[in-house]
Every structure is written in structure tokens, then in C-alpha cells.
Structure 1
């Protein structure tokens, strides 16, 4: 049943999202990335450090990140510099880089984890042969951000996906490059995802002198 906002019944009705933080989750800053890495290293959470580094580098959705297999990331005995997967949501391929920090933490985790190229990089603790669930990944992100003093309401798994993309956009202003890296089919999706607005456009324009 729906009401008009002018109906008497709606005058004292509380909105479903009253008091809740909704909308796009914030990307992390470089300082926050360092803080989370320090926390994970101090607590000797090898899996989580590898998961965090890979989440930032890959810019993948949670559903794709948790289903990565060892063979997607490893060639021979080395972690790849670049990898490619088919996105579950769109069915489109997307490539991503694996930087030195991520390669190091992944190599350390995989040495401890063991397994074959057909095994998931981040396995479920409950179901044998299955990947970590996206719900578990979300819980871990909550732990990471609250451990360094951030509000869990402001950050989530999409923060991991947006972080490096936002940094690339701020540094270069190249929306097309970010679109490719995120695997978006339309640049309009990238604009909405990054939260690009008129102020961003003006700042970029002010950098150019003719």
C-alpha cells in the first residue's frame, strides 16, 4: 500500500533510512591504507593482508574477488604482475595489475595456504572446496576499518573497489581509463560510481592553462 506524502497518515511516519548512512561508501585514503596494513601485519593476519592488498589493486567486486583461484594469480612459482578474469555480473573480461606489495603478501599467504591452481585463493572456513563468502568478506572489511578508528557505516567492500580507482581519477582525470579498469560498460556508470560532480570538473579544468 502506498501513500501520498500529503496524506495525514504520512505526517508522523518515520523514513525507513532515518538515522542510517546510505549511499556510496567512501574510498580509503593513502594514510588509511597504511594504517590498515600496519594493523594486519601487527596481528599477523596473513590471509587478511593478502586479501586487503588484492582488493585494492584488483578493484574487483566482492563476488569476483572471493572466487579468484590460485591459477588466476600464479604462473609457475611466481605471482603474476597482471591478471584477467571474467566478471560474474557483466560477463565481460577485466584486467588488473598486482603491484609489488600485493605480490609479496599473496606469496606469503599462498605459501602458508598451499593448494593447487584449481583451489580458491581465499577458501571458506566452513565448506570444503568453496570460496570465502561475500558476507564473510564484508565482515572482515568492517573489522579492518573499525580497527583503525573509522566508522563502519561509512566504509564497505565497495570502498575497497573504489579506492584505487578514485586515486587514479584524482591524479589523471582520465575517466576512460578508470572505466576500463573497473570493467564498466558505460562511462556514465563510472561517473556515478566515482561520484564525479561539477566541482570535480571545474578543478580539472582549472589545472589547464591555455
Structure 2
């Protein structure tokens, strides 16, 4: 049986800090527990490295410990919280004159890896659009929704870009659309034949919803005003559920699917960057990971030497 670690040299300061959080700052038990857990981890390391006091710890030592804990599997999010706990603890010690500086003040946790975007495969997108197309014949709102979904997938628009579209945003027989993206950056992107057909079908129905408030907005709500982002999100989720999609579908998922499928077919990262309106190609590169995942899945399934026995 292991001997318990001896924290007696530095536990009193932690106890005083926890009491300060509990009684003076009146933090919740959950928050206090998180601080206690983080500082206990540090105290364990202090014992292992023969550190005798909080005053003795230097920034370089904390950086080494962060690297160690990261290697042991502590996530970037947890490390960031631990740094925050240490920073505040040392501020407390400084206010009491028990340390001369705050070694955690300039610490930074390793960057958190961005999660890969979730996409639908081409068959799933086709199923979603075909299901909606079958319902749009006698319903102007579903005719509008079909044009919206087709345009998301055809041109990779952001939600805000699509809701802001006006009638004069299209050119060359609806084969191109001009959008204003982030930081007011303008770009022109192609519109595929399926999306053009859906748009023309919707524009034939659009006069049924026209009011004095409609203006030049392409997509209108039932009361005749420009459709809101929330309405689009809700309608897409509803249709995805009805079509039996295995995940919750949102507008940006269609943009992700557009980028992933285009890159998978063309391999042209620069072109996809331009179509998406990314100012930095590193933002677009996340889709190369999706493409590799697809290739790896095909390999694992098809290659005779890849199959597990």
C-alpha cells in the first residue's frame, strides 16, 4: 500500500484560498471542486519533484509540467482551466505577500485541435433533396425551401450570405451568384443546374408571398418578409428528421458537404478556398482531413491486406 503524499508544506495556502472562494467570493461547490482538483494535481507534482514551497516554483517548471500532463492525456481544455486556476491562486498569494511573482501569469496551454466538420455523403444529400422535391409541387413554402437547400449545397453559401440574397445577386441566367461574405468580402460563385431549376421554380411562386415589406429579398417568409436565419435552420432540421437523416442537419453542414465532395472529386484545394471565401487556405485544409478519412475507409474496406482477421 502506497504512503499518502505529504502536502503539509503547501496545503495551508490552498485551504486559505478555497475558503476565500467559498466565503468571500461565494463560488459554487462545482467551481470550488474544480479549483481544488487542479491545485491537488500541482501539489502532487511538487512532491514528486521535491519542490518545497509555492514561492519556489518558476514559470519554466510549470511549462515542463504542462507538457508532462499533456503527454499523459490531459486535454488542452483541461490544461487551460488548470492554468487559470493557478493564475488566480497566485494572485491570491501575491495579495497576502506570500510570493514575489505569479509564475502562471504568461502560461499558455497547447492549442486545442479543431474538430473535423460533420458532413453528409452524396447519397444522403441526394435523398434529402429528392424527398423535399417530391413535396414541393403544390406548396410554395416547400418550393422555397427546396431552392434554399439546393443553393446551399450547390454553391457552399454561409447561412447569413443566403438570407441576404437579393434578386440582383444573380447573373447570367441564374448561373452565378454574388455574395458578401465575412469582412464584407465579395465573391461570385457558380450555381449548378439543379439549384437553378429550383430557384426558377421558387421565383414563379414568390409573387404569392409578396407584400410591401418584401423588397428585393429572394427568399421570403410566409408573412412576406425576408426569411430569417432561425426559420431556415428550423425548416432544414425538420426536413432532415422527416427524411430519416442519421444526424441533426444544419445549414453549415450542407456547406461542409459541398466543400468535402468538391475536394474529393477535384483535389483542387485552391479552387475550394475561393468558392468558400476563405481568406486563409489553412481554414480550407481541414477538408483534406475529411478526404483522407474517406480514402482510408475505402482502403480499409477494399484492400485485402488491410482487413483484420
Q: TM-score category by the smaller chain? A: 0.7 to 0.9
Match of 1:109 in 2: 202
In 2, the alpha carbon distance for the partners of 1:64 and 1:149 equals: 27
Given that 1:25 and 1:158 are in contact with CA atoms closer than 8 Å, whether structure 2 keeps it comes out as: no
Identify the residue that residue 174 of structure 1 maps to in structure 2: 268
CA distances 1:52-88 after superposition (whole Å, capped 9, x unpaired): 111111211101111111121256xxx421122221x
Moved over 3 A (4+): 1-8, 115-118, 197-200
Q: Residue 61 and residue 7 in structure 1: after superposition, are their counterparts in 2 closer, same or farther (change >3 A)?
A: same
How far apart are residue 99 of structure 1 and its match? 1.3
Query: What is the distance in 1 between the residues matched to 2:263 and 2:206?
Result: 35
Measure how far apart 1:29 and its partner are.
Answer: 1.8
The match for 1:18 is: none
Match of 1:91 among 147, 168, 184: 184
1:56 and 2:153 correspond: yes
Unaligned runs of 5+ in 2: 1-26, 41-114, 137-141, 300-309
State the shift of 1:24 in Å.
Answer: 5.2
Is the Cα–Cα contact under 8 Å of residues 57 and 96 in structure 1 kept in the other structure? Answer: no
Q: Distance in 2 between matches of 1:199 and 1:30?
A: 16
The number of aligned residues is: 183
Shift of 1:25: 4.6
1:144 CA displacement: 2.3
Q: Equivalent of 1:191, from 285, 292, 296?
A: 285
**Which residue is equivalent to 2:4?**
none
- For residues 132 and 181 of structure 1, the distance between their equivalents in structure 2, rounded to whole angstroms, comes to 24
The whole-number CA distance in structure 2 between the counterparts of 1:38 and 1:197 is 25
Provide the C-alpha distance between the structure 1 equivalents of 2:236 and 2:228, rounded to a whole number of angstroms: 13
Displacement after TM superposition at 1:124 (Å): 2.8
- Greater radius of gyration (CA): 2
The answer to whether structure 1 residue 157 and structure 2 residue 157 are counterparts is no
Q: What is aligned with 1:136? A: 231
Q: Is the 8 A contact 1:71 1:118 kept in 2?
A: no
- How many Å separate the matches in 1 of 2:291 and 2:274? 22
CA change 1:147–1:177 in 2 (3 A) is: same
1:173 deviates by 2.1
Give unmatched runs, 5+ long, in structure 1: 9-22
Between Structure 1 and Structure 2, the one with more helix by share is 2
Quote the offset at 1:134 in angstroms. Answer: 0.9
Is the Cα contact below 8 Å between 1:70 and 1:118 reproduced in 2?
A: no
Q: In 2 relative to 1, CA 198–143 (structure 1 residues): closer, same or farther, beyond 3 Å?
A: closer
Instruction: Please give the root-mean-square deviation of Cα atoms over the aligned residues, in Å.
Output: 3.1
Contact kept in structure 1, 2:259 and 2:276, CA below 8 Å: yes
Task: Provide the secondary structure at the position in 2 that maps to 1:184.
Answer: coil
